[in-house]
Chains A and B, each alone.
Chain A
Amino acid sequence: MFPEILEAIREVQAPLLAALLLLGAAAKASPRSAGTGAALLVPQRLRRPVTLATCLAEVGLAVGLLTLTGPAADVVRCLTVLLFAVSVGVLLVVRRRDPEAGCGCFGGLSREPIGWRTLSRASLLAVAAATTIGLGPNGWTSASEPTVTHGIVLGVELLLLGLLSPELREVFSRATTGEPCALREGSPRRSLRRLRRSDVWRTNAKVMLADEPEDTWRHGCWRFLRYDGMRHGRRVDVVYAVRIGGPRRTGVRAALVDRESGAVIATFGAVTTLDLQGPPRRLPKPRQAAKRDEAEGRGGPKPGTLAEEPPGEAGRGMPGGPSKEIQGAGA
């Protein structure tokens, strides 16, 4: 049992290392990764070339780990061990030189200062690469024939790597934190799509003379589009305001403005701030209504008594009228 687990641990490493190397290379290729990790040790003009060279080396090693077999595979595995071992040394130097610098392992995501977790992860990966030396099948073959043991080993190792990765917090924070609409770069095409799906657009479609806006501008949360229009023989400006993000019901507003006089002819789509009373959904049953009225101190006449109803509260078509009649009848 134990040799099987050991073998599974060795076989899992190559595809896992290849995946991590490819992820790291992709993250380093983005322009935001400049100025982190090993690039900090070289002059400014060489930083981008050094980052790209690291990126290419990682892609090369990842492909080698996945495809090569025999002595060539062992060379690639040794180089992978060397890469991670050297990176531990480089990270220590970078940390001494600039304690605030990120490791740059996953490009712009690795902005957190280099700490024990980053160093431990690099060391762990160097050890993981060392266990693959001398293994028969290549990474692709190991990944294509998975067993339950492989799955368990992979899960445990991913958990361990997750605990050692400060980048996960950054990924989580980026995924969950949405910037306020006024600061967000909204796509003009998306705004146009939202506008054309709106009722306000359909309402004014007959007035507009062209499909393309004459002018487009932005004001905080709103993107404005001005179209040429003609209404009853007079030239008008049809101005739409499309909200960037936010609830759909506040999505689109519009105003029709007479071009000559500048007078506002009509506005559409503004949502009232008043609390409007909604339509009654369902009338309560008579017994429930009576109980509710009683609880609220609006109790009607009790059985066998002729109590006076407050004027206007009756709501039964004759406010105030019936009570006098009832009083009269009682006298």
Chain B
Amino acid sequence: MTDSGRERRRFTSTVLGAAAAPEPTPIHQRVVRGVVVDATRYMFCLATPRGEERFLYENSTTFWRGGEILATELRPGDDVVVRCSQDGRLIAERVWARVARATGVIVEREGDTLTLDPGHGRPRTTVVLPYRTSGRITVRHPRLEPGYLFDAVGIWEDGAVWAARPATTQPPHPLDASPRRPPVREYSTTVEGIVSWYDPARGRSSHLDPRAQAPGAAYPALDRSGHEGRCDRRTSCLPLPLLSTGATLSLRNDCTRDTAVVPVIDCAASDSWFCDLCPACGTRAAGRIASLTMTSFVALGGLLEVGCFNATMTVANQEG
């Protein structure tokens, strides 16, 4: 969280009470992100902000890079996210390498290459649909035409995202024809929806870039006045309270029952465009609550290759 965000949270809790803006919970030490320095059959070494760290494997350790891979297939220079076993920061339980996400509206298509606009002034993403995964992608995203939404998880390859699996199901209408949310009469302090993830560092220099390690969330109902830059969001299909960067969200993963308080650090314009369901752990409410950074998402029990989980957000009663 930035200094400005920290100050805002402090002042909010001073005026409205501590429950209105709870203190963010730090990311659990068992989640690590860094760059592979060396990998052998028994262990691998990562460059992290703490320096070089070594991690051992178990038989049950899984490695994902667009699909299941072997430990020896990790290459030096790979950006990886590691979730260690419950015991601590030594034995890797799950490892994701070069994982990338392409979320946004399709602006151009050339053969098996798409150009996406992720919204909020972020750079456009080039997505490649390899032949071996294109069938799986098109089942969930049948309309790969400009104007339609796209959301898939894949890996970084030469500055482009090679899509490996669809994250959620594509809405059947183009973005411009999205139905408006009907007016909400009563406001509830708990909101059920889905939580996804995004990577503010775009897979580059994750051991040096503070954005790659930052805990936080991009929020789709960001107030226009308290945000630097343009947040080209729409009215989300969930009744989300309007907040600014610096606010904190109390989230619970409904699948694993993990809870965390994460600070709002960015605008999630694309989350306000989607009104989708997460197939993981049963289907519940449609609509996106927030996009967590990769480390926050994994710390809250999410699986990066699945791309989402069902969650409940609690907003404190702000009447003080």
Which residues of A are at the interface with B, using a C-beta cutoff of 8 A? 32, 34-35, 44, 47, 108, 111, 173-174, 177, 179-185, 188, 215-224, 226, 237, 239, 241, 250, 253-255, 257, 262, 264, 267, 270
Taken residue by residue from 1 to 30, chain B's Cβ proximity to chain A (1 for < 8 Å, 0 otherwise) reads as: 000100110111011100011000000000
Contacts of A32 in B (CB 8 A): 180
Interchain CA distance A224-B5 in the complex, whole Å: 13
Residue of A nearest to B246 (CB): A217
Q: Is the beta-carbon distance between A219 and B185 smaller than 8 angstroms? A: no
Contacts of A253 in B (CB 8 A): 15-16, 320
Interchain CA distance A224-B13 in the complex, whole Å: 11
Contacts of B20 in A (CB 8 A): 219-220
A220 to B: closest C-beta gap in Å: 4
Q: Looking at chain B's contact residues, is the secondary structure mostly helix, strand, loop, or mixed?
A: loop
B223 within 8 Å of A (CB atoms): yes
Q: Is the beta-carbon distance between A222 and B318 smaller than 8 angstroms? A: yes
Cross-interface CB contact of A174 among B183, B224, B239, cutoff 8 Å: B183
The A-B contact count (CB < 8 A) is 112
Which residues of B are at the interface with A, using a C-beta cutoff of 8 A? 4, 7-8, 10-12, 14-16, 20-21, 147, 173-174, 176-177, 179-180, 183-187, 221, 223-226, 239-247, 315, 318-320
A-B interface, 3 closest residue pairs, ranked by CB to CB distance from nearest: A180-B187, A217-B226, A218-B223
With A180-B184, A180-B187, A224-B11: A217-B223 Cβ-Cβ less than 8 Å = yes
Interchain CA distance A279-B246 in the complex, whole Å: 43
Residue of B nearest to A174 (CB): B183
Cross-interface CB contact of A224 among B12, B174, B179, cutoff 8 Å: B12
Q: Is the beta-carbon distance between A218 and B180 smaller than 8 angstroms? A: no
Q: List 5 additional A-B contacts (Cβ < 8 Å) besides A217-B244, A218-B225, A221-B318.
A: A219-B16, A219-B20, A219-B247, A241-B12, A255-B15
Q: Is the beta-carbon distance between B225 and A219 smaller than 8 angstroms? A: no
A65 to B: closest C-beta gap in Å: 32
Contacts of B318 in A (CB 8 A): 182, 219-222
Q: Is the beta-carbon distance between B8 and A217 smaller than 8 angstroms? A: yes
Q: Is the beta-carbon distance between A182 and B176 smaller than 8 angstroms? A: no
Interchain CA distance A261-B222 in the complex, whole Å: 30
Contacts of A108 in B (CB 8 A): 180
Interchain CA distance A177-B282 in the complex, whole Å: 33
Cross-interface CB contact of B4 among A34, A188, A215, A220, cutoff 8 Å: A215
B150 to A: closest C-beta gap in Å: 16
Q: Is the beta-carbon distance between B184 and A183 smaller than 8 angstroms? A: yes
Q: Is the beta-carbon distance between B15 and A34 smaller than 8 angstroms? A: no
Contacts of A174 in B (CB 8 A): 183
Contacts of B4 in A (CB 8 A): 215
Contacts of B242 in A (CB 8 A): 182-185, 218, 220
Residue of B nearest to A237 (CB): B11
